[in-house]
Amino acid sequence: MTRHLPETERRAQILRAARAIFIERGYLEARVEDIAKRAGLSKGAVYFYFTSKREVFDALVDEELAVTASFLAEAERDERPATIKMIDLGRKYLDYFAGLKTPPRFFLLMSELAIRDEELRRRVTAVHDQFVAATARVVAQGIAEGAFRDLDPRAVALFLKAFIDGLAGQSAVGMRPDVERLGSDGIRMLLTGLLATESR
């Protein structure tokens, strides 16, 4: 007999199982029966909390995108100088990818499915745009404070988003970030540029 759990714990149990099944089999090959079996539940129990396989998948997408949303929300509330905010944001991502117990392979699965799924592509693009807009505001703040060079804030933000996506992709295949190196000289290079001052 399945032990009774609060709704939030039961949903989390189902989502953990679903994440593993989706990663192992891909979205199209995964079945609700597989998710239920992995979770140690009946198929009906899964349908009690989720109306379809797609709803389960969308809930996992929400979890995946919530990390970026939470980091950006913190940055938006942060009233410190832009330099500190930028370093803090970089370290949050480094620590996040380095600290995951398992590689974030769902990120790759989600991105792969977004190639063919217009609704998912819109969601992923919306979070991308949110990151770029929020980061561009931090860069603009740093320029106004005189701490950053007078560069196009959106161009810098797009570059940073590409870097974060690269970290996610590397982590997904098991290459965890070298936090010590990226957190020191990596961030220093990002903030000061690669060229020596006299060479600029």
Burial track 82-101 (b if 16+ CB lie within 10 A, e otherwise):
beebbbebbeebbebbbeee
163 and 193 inside one domain: yes
φ and ψ at residue 111, rounded to 5 degrees = -65, -40
* 118 has a pLDDT exceeding 60: yes
Q: Are residues 65 and 19 in the same domain?
A: no
pLDDT the model gives residue 1? 42
Q: Are 42 and 79 in a shared domain?
A: no
- For the segment 121-164, what is each residue's pLDDT rounded down to a tens digit? 999 999 999 999 999 999 999 999 999 999 999 999 999 999 99
Listed as own residue / partner, the contacts of 192-195 with beta carbons closer than 8 Å and 24 or more positions apart are 193/149
Q: What is the pLDDT of residue 79?
A: 93
3-state secondary structure of 114: helix
Say yes or no: 39 and 70 in one domain.
Answer: no
Residue 179: burial class (beta carbons within 10 Å; 0-12, 13-18, 19+): middle
pLDDT, tens digit (0-9, with 9 covering 90-100), for 54-83: 999 999 999 988 888 888 888 889 999 999
User: Distance (Å, rounded) from C-alpha 5 to C-alpha 183?
Assistant: 40
Q: What are 108's two structure tokens? A: 């790759």
Does one domain contain both 88 and 144?
yes
**173 pLDDT exceeds 70?**
yes
Claim: this prediction has a pTM higher than 0.85: no
pLDDT band of residue 199 (cuts 50, 70, 90) is: low
Task: Let me know whether 24 and 91 are in one domain.
Answer: no
Residues 47, 75, single domain; the answer is no
Higher pLDDT, 99 or 129: 129
Claim to verify: residue 134 and residue 188 sit in the same structural domain: yes
| Shared-domain flag, residues 105 and 14 | no
What's the rounded mean pLDDT across residues 170-199? 85
Residue 10: how many other CB atoms lie within 10 Å: 19
Is residue 128 located within the same domain as residue 168?
yes
- Residue 77 shares a structural domain with residue 153: yes
| 21 and 67, same domain (yes or no) | no
Average pLDDT (110-115) is 92
Residues 19-38: tens digit of each pLDDT: 999 999 999 999 999 999 99
Average pLDDT score over the chain: 90
- Cα 1 from chain centroid (whole Å): 36
The CATH number covering residue 188 comes to: 1.10.357.10
Residue 191, pLDDT above cutoff 90: no
Q: How many domains does the chain have?
A: 2
pLDDT (mean) for 96-108: 86
Cα–Cα distances in angstroms (integers) from residue 50 to residues 12, 36, 38, 106, in the given order: 12, 11, 16, 19
Q: Which of 34, 51, 68 is the last residue of a domain?
A: 51
CATH of the domain at 20: 1.10.10.60
Q: Which domain holds residue 11?
A: 1-51
C-alpha distance from residue 66 to each of 78, 169, 190 (Å) = 18, 17, 25
Residue 2: pLDDT above 60?
Answer: no
- C-alpha–C-alpha distance, residues 103 and 124, integer Å: 19
Q: What backbone phi and psi angles, to 5 degrees, belong to 177? A: -70, 145
